[in-house]
Amino acid sequence: GAVVSQHPSRVICKSGTSVKIECRSLDFQATTMFWYRQFPKQSLMLMATSNEGSKATYEQGVEKDKFLINHASLTLSTLTVTSAHPEDSSFYICSARERTANQPQHFGDGTRLSIL
Amino acid sequence: DAKTTQPPSMDCAEGRAANLPCNHSTISGNEYVYWYRQIHSQGPQYIIHGLKNNETNEMASLIITEDRKSSTLILPHATLRDTAVYYCIVKAGGYQKVTFGIGTKLQVIP
Looking at residue B106, what is its pLDDT?
A: 98
Q: Whole-angstrom Cα distance, residue A19 to residue A115?
A: 10
Q: Does A112 touch chain B (CB under 8 A)?
A: yes
Q: Which residue of A has its CA nearest to B51?
A: A102
Tell whether the model's pLDDT for residue B1 goes beyond 80.
no
Q: Does B40 touch chain A (CB under 8 A)?
A: no
Q: For residue range B4-13, what is the model confidence (pLDDT) as tens digits?
A: 999 999 999 9
Looking at residue A99, what is its pLDDT?
A: 75
Residue A102 identity (one-letter amino acid): N
Contacts of B38 in chain A (CB under 8 A): 44
Q: Whole-angstrom Cα distance, residue B7 to residue A17?
A: 41
Span B58-82, average pLDDT: 97
Q: Whole-angstrom Cα distance, residue A10 to residue B78?
A: 30
Report whether B26 contacts B4 (CB < 8 A): no
Using DSSP's 3-state secondary structure scheme, residue A81 falls into strand
Q: Does B102 touch chain A (CB under 8 A)?
A: yes
Q: Is the dihedral of CA B81, A1, A77, A100 positive or negative?
A: negative
Give the gap in angstroms from C-alpha B41 to the nearest C-alpha of chain A.
8
Looking at residue A103, what is its pLDDT?
A: 78
Q: Does B30 touch chain A (CB under 8 A)?
A: no
Tell whether the model's pLDDT for residue A2 goes beyond 80.
no
Report whether A38 contacts B87 (CB < 8 A): no
Nearest to B91 by CA among B51, B43, B38: B51
Tell whether the model's pLDDT for residue A1 goes beyond 90.
no
Give the Cβ contact number of residue B102 at 10 Å.
14
Q: For residue range A55-73, what is the model confidence (pLDDT) as tens digits?
A: 899 999 999 999 999 988 8
Q: For residue range A71-101, what is the model confidence (pLDDT) as tens digits?
A: 888 899 999 999 999 999 999 999 998 777 6
- Cα A12 to chain centroid distance, Å, stands at 17
Q: For residue range A13-34, what is the model confidence (pLDDT) as tens digits?
A: 999 999 999 999 998 888 889 9
Contacts of A93 in chain B (CB under 8 A): 43-44
Looking at residue B93, what is its pLDDT?
A: 66
Q: What band does A12 get if pLDDT is binned at 50, 70 and 90?
A: very high
Give the gap in angstroms from C-alpha A33 to the nearest C-alpha of chain B.
9
Q: Whole-angstrom Cα distance, residue B20 to residue B9?
A: 10
Which among B41, B43, B93 has CB closest to A101?
B93
Residues in CB range of B21: below 8 A, 6 or more apart: B6, B7, B70, B71, B72
Q: Does A46 touch chain B (CB under 8 A)?
A: yes
Looking at residue A92, what is its pLDDT?
A: 98
Asked if B44's CB is within 8 angstroms of A34's CB, the reply is no
Span B36-65, average pLDDT: 95
Tell whether the model's pLDDT for residue B59 goes beyond 80.
yes
Cis bond upstream, residue A8 (ω within 30): yes
Backbone angles phi, psi at B30, to 5 degrees: -100, 10
Q: What band does A102 get if pLDDT is binned at 50, 70 and 90?
A: confident
Q: Does A75 touch chain B (CB under 8 A)?
A: no
Q: For residue range B74-107, what is the model confidence (pLDDT) as tens digits?
A: 999 999 999 999 999 998 766 677 889 999 999 9
